[in-house]
A and B are shown apart, each in its own frame.
Chain A
Amino acid sequence: MTRLAAGALAICLALVAGLIVLIAARGLGYFWQSPIELFELADGTRVLGEVWNWEPRPGGAGRRVRLAVGNRDLTGADFRWIDESEILRRSRPEDAGVFERLEWGKFYGFPAQLLRGDRIAASGAEVWKEIRPLLAEKAEVRARIARLHGGEIDDVNRELERIRIELRQLRRRGLADSERTPILEAEREEYQRRYEAHLVQLRELEDELLAETLVLRAADGSLVRLPAGHAVRAVRANRLRLPQRLGLYASRLAEFLLDDPRESNTEGGIFPAIFGTVMMVFLTSLAVAPFGVLAAIYLREYARDGAFVRLVRISVNSLAGVPSIVFGVFGLGFFVYLVGGSIDQLFYPDRLPAPTFGTGGILWASLTLALLTVPVVIVSTEEGLTSVPRGVREGSFALGATKFETLRRVIVPAALPGVLTGIILAMARAAGEVAPLMIVGMVKLAPSLPIDAHFPFVHLERKFMHLGFHIYDVGFQSPNVEAVQPLVFATALLLILVVLSTNLAAILLRNRLRRKYASSGV
């Protein structure tokens, strides 16, 4: 039996280690550029792509290889399976490249020509020399377009929306004929005019994106025209040396962490999700910390120890085990529909029936999670308070301090590690929780971050993206689940890192707390 027990523990450890290694390997591998291989098959077809994996042929002998072949616009599939027996020759052509595009995903192929307008600027392998500066230039143009969209055009839209609501308000109050109306109408025209001007600017920039065209040749010889402005990256994968490969790795990692998603979240970065997660966790801890600590101090220091306190303590402990989805249901019914709906009725009647607070948003999500995590803070803070030795407390009283003074100057500072542990554990729990958020405020793709440069700067009613939900959504709701797996693994790795590092901090703090008072003989 002892051996079975040892075996059981070994299995548990192996499972944890295996899972972490799996996610780390897959997640970090996502950014790595493998060589591009050209497969020439017995029937004369040529296939270009990255080797995904080798696997046994189902129901037969031998192996087959799975190639990531990209070129979704040509073939409609991301992968191709090739039996080993059919392969005549494998090679790594130097000219081959992978082109990351804004649309249709990756393209594997060879550059054929670079066209400026209708003029051929370069052809064959020479194109490679031109590509790098060209793409950098186009990236700059895209950034300008994004600034225009997010900045000036967005401003104008906001003003227009404000005027629309104000006009509606006037109509509702029966003041449609007041002198304010023509002023607003004039303003509206002015903004409309500005809007048109921005559109012209935008169109010019968009034309600039299309000024050059890359003509690319796929392995089977078919040609694809790719406007240079629609290419994010062009990588000559088989000629990369290690430093370049590492540079590419870093650039892709940076894109992943700092950019917005593309192609319905299956490509590009996850910055909004990171931002949403961090902000939500921050708001949660802001809500949960004072109340949790107050409740713990009340239970431990102020409430008379008796049946009531015991009951509350046990309930709080049990509440920590109530499924998170139950809190989500409560959040939806209470915060979103009841509180949010009432706020809308009272303060935003002009926007109805479009809800402002009466729909899921980051505030409601944070408050729901605060309720969910408050038992964690209470339990941990209580533990911290209990571990303060009685002698310290009595010493303070003996010196004439009141109860509050003792609490403020002696007990709470001594119990601080316990308090912090609780808050950090709550943050870790909040960061990893997804189920309740699915119903109180997360969305697949949020159009704007909950913080921006527009008054009142923090928009607590907005929906937001979240790492955990991103995993669920991209992993399970994408058209091609296999192809996006690496991206999801990378996201999962990031989430695990966030959760584990916060947890680790909590564990270290708690250990420090225990050591500090271990010798004082409570």
Chain B
Amino acid sequence: MTQPRGRTSARRLWAERGAARLVGAGGLAVVASLAGILVFLLVEVAPLLGSSTLGAPSPLAGGEVGARALLVDPHRTHLAELGEDGFARLTELETGRERARRRLLDGADPSLLRGVPEDRLLIAADRAGRVRWLRVDWPLRYEGRERVVEPRLSGVEALDLELSGSELLDYALRADPDGASWVGALSSGEVAVVSIETRTNAFSGETRRQTTETRFEVDGRIGRIAIGPERRYAYAATLEGELLSWALDRPSAPERVELPGRAGALAPLLGGRSLIAGLADGRLIQYFRAPGPDGGTPLTRIREFPGLSGPVFAIAPSQRDRSFFAADRGGEIALFHSTTGQRLWSGRAPSGELFALGLAPRANALYVAGSAGTAALEVHNPHPEAGGGGFFGRIWYEDYPRPEYVWQSTGGSDEFEPKLSLVPLLVGTLKGTLYTLLLSVPLGLLGAIYVSQFMHPNLQGVVKPTVEIMASLPSVVLGFVAGLWLAPRLEAFLPGMLAMLFVLPALSIAAGSLWRALPARWTHGRHEGSELVLYLAVLVLGAAVCLELSPSVERAVFGGSVSTWLRETTGLVYDQRNAIVAGIAMGFAVIPIILSLADDALSNVPPDLSAGSLALGATRWQTVARIVLPAASPGIFAAVMIGLGRAVGETMIVLMATGNTPLLDWSAFNGFRTLSANIAVEIPEAPRGGTLYRTLFLAALVLFALTFTLNTAAELVRERLRRRFADD
């Protein structure tokens, strides 16, 4: 359709080209922005897959060689070190200037110098039982908009033990404003427990210290000791391969569990439930108190991490999540995440022997002290919980009796262990889809067959708009009616409702016979399909009878309450908002899709096919079943696929008509939570860029991929079918 050039004025040509550009640009922009949705989702999800990284070590100015414990403030402005010489030093990180120093203990044993980042303590001790510690404070002050950290070393506190000849082997100390707990292992084979209670008089401001000491003997020689947060539990590892644990307020009769080697380090994780034991052969093992079968919560070996090559000597748990660093003396350092059991990163410290690890409170930098001085490594570990194992694996979470698939993204406190398994949500999505399709596929397909094959066009003109009305009902209305109106009635009339599954098909057949039996002058000359009115009347009547009889049946057969009966005989729990309610409500959304698309497919089958079949003497139903249905089957398949896609992504109905409990079970009588409903419930509360936020984006991406594939497959099938019949 080229235009003869010479006769077209320049203005028209200009308009022509301009329009082509504009339309092209606009069209491509729309196409691009639709593609952009996918790209954006991918970009938001991508960081979940990115690995954790540590920056190159940068040596610190002024740090003295030989620090045995390191503490950093949350803003990483100052470093507190405990040196081999028993001095605590405070240095400004930027300048390397020393701000304060204080002697803790003369002649401290280098292997008995400790730092407790959670309590901001530096502790020194010697073999003779002298213990000295101080607390580092990092008060914040604002000068205009400038943030100023003014660190302080507290006064030195002392504890002198009467050891009468034996030596101190190892110890642990935790201290908070209410007091302190100290546990030490002595060469005599005893364990000494000291608890210091500090009481401040509210009126005079005077503080009183009360110290109590208990000692008890244990079997085996203790190598390492640790105390959990809030000074609740103490842990001790023996050289013979046992892990002991006892509640600090009940020191006798410690609990024992096997430890497969000699422990080089013990570290409680955030929340204080888990303990990580690092062994001399480089292995790392997690323990926590898991609910046992007899109602107790014995200390249990949970999982082993891919270990280090040398003996573990230090573990630095994160104070933000359940990640931790572990290191061996030779300088190999690795980052692990306890929930997923994965090693997130591993590498080497700067050359030389390692003395101490110090993880910044925000877990954004690791400080390592060694024979080559102190260095800082930037830590980038934004999504430790993410990964295939975290999202799809069976995981043994803290406080759970066994590994399970659990979705519970947020808890009451910062110490909560996020449980981000997508499996319950996927199962919930499939469950909702299954119950929806069980109802809507038979109804939709049979309905479509009837409309397209057995109904006069005039009547089709009434039925089809009704189906379109059904398709356009807002899902929030369906969800509301299902959740608040249908759910209580389904519970009240359960036997009647379930009976309808059998009664209504039977009544349909009966209605057919009734129509035949009607006097000919009533039925003669009516449009094909008019019998539907009779069917309607019979079915509605049948349903009403079912509901009317339901309470009496419930009393007579089920002892008054079906839900109680269910629980007692089958152990199934009956939720008022369950899969049946959701299935019916989603059926309202899905039936019209299947019905009208299948109707299209069936109507497009060329009439000569069925005419030929009928001419050969086949009955109407034979023609439908053997000729029309096979010819239209790809289209019907496509209709079901598109209906399935709708059921998978439906949000509001699921949100309102089910209990939204992320359970792993297929019972029709309780609720579920789907991917889509989960997004709607949780994303408004998810902090932008966090792991939960991105995980929900991942859920959206999964939904997108799932429905897009289903729909594309269906579209391709439909297109091919259209072309085939167009050729005929």
What residues on B are CB-neighbors of A402 within 8 Å?
A: 3, 8, 12-13, 15-16
Q: Tell yes or no: B60 within 8 A of A by CB.
A: no
Instruction: State the CA gap A371–B536 with chains docked (Å).
Output: 41
Evaluate contact between B680 and A435: CB separation under 8 angstroms: yes
Q: Tell yes or no: A317 within 8 A of B by CB.
A: yes
Evaluate contact between B27 and A297: CB separation under 8 angstroms: yes
Q: Tell yes or no: B551 within 8 A of A by CB.
A: yes
Evaluate contact between B708 and A318: CB separation under 8 angstroms: yes
Evaluate contact between B715 and A314: CB separation under 8 angstroms: yes
What residues on B are CB-neighbors of A320 within 8 Å?
A: 711
| A residues 425-442 touching B (CB-CB < 8 Å) | 428, 431-435, 438-439
Number of interface residues of B (CB under 8 A): 110
Evaluate contact between A503 and B468: CB separation under 8 angstroms: yes
Q: Tell yes or no: A8 within 8 A of B by CB.
A: yes
Evaluate contact between A329 and B700: CB separation under 8 angstroms: yes
Evaluate contact between B469 and A500: CB separation under 8 angstroms: yes
Q: Tell yes or no: B451 within 8 A of A by CB.
A: yes
Q: Tell yes or no: A249 within 8 A of B by CB.
A: no
Evaluate contact between A2 and B474: CB separation under 8 angstroms: no
Tell which of B288-296, B344-352, B475-483 binds the partner: B475-483
Please encode chain B, from 454 to 479, with 1 for each CB lying within 8 Å of some chain A CB and 0 for all others: 10000000010111111011111111
Known: A2-B454, A318-B708. A12 touches B443 (CB 8 A): yes
Q: Tell yes or no: B450 within 8 A of A by CB.
A: yes
| B residues 283-328 touching A (CB-CB < 8 Å) | none
Evaluate contact between B451 and A330: CB separation under 8 angstroms: no
Evaluate contact between A4 and B509: CB separation under 8 angstroms: yes
Evaluate contact between A302 and B31: CB separation under 8 angstroms: no
Evaluate contact between A495 and B588: CB separation under 8 angstroms: no
Please encode chain B, from 534 to 571, with 1 for each CB lying within 8 Å of some chain A CB and 0 for all others: 01100110010000000100010000110000000000
What residues on B are CB-neighbors of A294 within 8 Å?
A: 22-23, 26-27, 30
B484 CB contact (under 8 Å) in A58, A481, A495: A481
Q: Tell yes or no: B40 within 8 A of A by CB.
A: yes
Instruction: State the CA gap A6–B31 with chains docked (Å).
Output: 43
Tell which of B244-252, B369-377, B394-402, B500-508 binds the partner: B500-508
Evaluate contact between B26 and A295: CB separation under 8 angstroms: yes
Known: A10-B536, A323-B703. A317 touches B651 (CB 8 A): no
Known: A321-B710, A492-B481. A9 touches B26 (CB 8 A): no
Instruction: State the CA gap A402–B481 with chains docked (Å).
Output: 55
Evaluate contact between A6 and B512: CB separation under 8 angstroms: yes
Evaluate contact between B15 and A404: CB separation under 8 angstroms: yes
User: Which of chain B's residues has its CB closest to A7's CB?
Assistant: B508
Tell which of B70-78, B90-98, B640-648 binds the partner: B640-648
Q: Tell yes or no: B650 within 8 A of A by CB.
A: yes
Evaluate contact between B532 and A316: CB separation under 8 angstroms: no
Interface secondary structure of B, over-half rule: helix
Evaluate contact between B41 and A330: CB separation under 8 angstroms: yes
Q: Tell yes or no: B19 within 8 A of A by CB.
A: yes
What residues on A are CB-neighbors of B697 within 8 Å?
A: 329, 333
Q: Tell yes or no: B211 within 8 A of A by CB.
A: no
Q: Tell yes or no: A389 within 8 A of B by CB.
A: no
Known: A298-B24, A302-B23, A314-B715. A475 touches B466 (CB 8 A): no
CB distance from B502 to the nearest CB of A (A): 12
What residues on A are CB-neighbors of B475 within 8 Å?
A: 432, 434-435
Evaluate contact between A321 and B23: CB separation under 8 angstroms: no
User: Which of chain B's residues has its CB closest to A472's CB?
Assistant: B476
CB distance from A297 to the nearest CB of B (A): 5
Evaluate contact between A321 and B454: CB separation under 8 angstroms: no
Count of CB-CB pairs between chains A and B under 8 Å? 310
Number of interface residues of A (CB under 8 A): 95
Instruction: State the CA gap A291–B30 with chains docked (Å).
Output: 7
Please encode chain A, from 122 to 165, with 1 for each CB lying within 8 Å of some chain B CB and 0 for all others: 00000000000000000000000000000000000000000000
A438 CB contact (under 8 Å) in B477, B684, B703, B719: B684
| B residues 29-46 touching A (CB-CB < 8 Å) | 29-31, 33-35, 37, 40-41, 44
Evaluate contact between B472 and A503: CB separation under 8 angstroms: yes
Instruction: State the CA gap A147–B650 with chains docked (Å).
Output: 43
The residue among A312, A318, A324, A496 with the most chain B CB atoms within 10 A of its own CB is A318
Known: A314-B716, A325-B700, A329-B679. A292 touches B30 (CB 8 A): yes
| A residues 1-32 touching B (CB-CB < 8 Å) | 1-17, 19-20, 22-23
Evaluate contact between A302 and B20: CB separation under 8 angstroms: yes
Evaluate contact between A19 and B535: CB separation under 8 angstroms: no
Q: Tell yes or no: B449 within 8 A of A by CB.
A: yes
Evaluate contact between B535 and A6: CB separation under 8 angstroms: yes
What residues on A are CB-neighbors of B511 within 8 Å?
A: 3, 6-7
Q: Tell yes or no: B637 within 8 A of A by CB.
A: no
What residues on A are CB-neighbors of B543 within 8 Å?
A: 14
Please encode chain A, from 324 to 345, with 1 for each CB lying within 8 Å of some chain B CB and 0 for all others: 1111111011100100000000
A312 CB contact (under 8 Å) in B26, B31, B41, B512: B31
CB distance from B493 to the nearest CB of A (A): 10
CB distance from B481 to the nearest CB of A (A): 7
What residues on B are CB-neighbors of A329 within 8 Å?
A: 41, 679, 683, 696-697, 700
Evaluate contact between A16 and B469: CB separation under 8 angstroms: yes
Instruction: State the CA gap A408–B642 with chains docked (Å).
Output: 36
Q: Tell yes or no: A223 within 8 A of B by CB.
A: no
Q: Tell yes or no: A361 within 8 A of B by CB.
A: no
Q: Tell yes or no: B179 within 8 A of A by CB.
A: no
Evaluate contact between B447 and A374: CB separation under 8 angstroms: no
| B residues 698-721 touching A (CB-CB < 8 Å) | 700, 703-704, 707-708, 710-712, 715-716, 719
Evaluate contact between B712 and A314: CB separation under 8 angstroms: yes
Instruction: State the CA gap A4–B513 with chains docked (Å).
Output: 12
CB distance from A28 to the nearest CB of B (A): 15
Please encode chain A, from 53 to 72, with 1 for each CB lying within 8 Å of some chain B CB and 0 for all others: 00010110000000000000
CB distance from A53 to the nearest CB of B (A): 12
CB distance from A352 to the nearest CB of B (A): 13
What residues on B are CB-neighbors of A2 within 8 Å?
A: 450, 454, 512, 620-621
User: Which of chain B's residues has its CB closest to A435's CB?
Assistant: B651
CB distance from A475 to the nearest CB of B (A): 5
User: Which of chain B's residues has its CB closest to A302's CB?
Assistant: B23
Evaluate contact between B23 and A8: CB separation under 8 angstroms: no
What residues on A are CB-neighbors of B451 within 8 Å?
A: 9
Q: Which 8 A-B pairs have the closest CB atoms?
A: A323-B649, A298-B27, A7-B508, A432-B474, A294-B26, A3-B512, A8-B446, A318-B711
- 8 more contacts with CB within 8 A, not counting A495-B477, A503-B472, are A15-B470, A325-B649, A326-B649, A329-B679, A403-B1, A434-B476, A435-B655, A435-B676
A interface residues, Cβ below 8 angstroms from B = 1-17, 19-20, 22-23, 56, 58-59, 290-292, 294-299, 301-303, 312, 314-330, 332-334, 337, 371, 374-375, 378, 397, 400, 402-405, 407-408, 428, 431-435, 438-439, 468-469, 471-472, 475-476, 481, 485, 488, 492, 495-496, 499-500, 503-504, 507
Instruction: List 9 A-B residue pairs with CB atoms under 8 Å apart, sorted by A's residue number.
Output: A7-B508, A59-B555, A319-B708, A319-B711, A321-B707, A438-B680, A472-B476, A476-B483, A488-B484
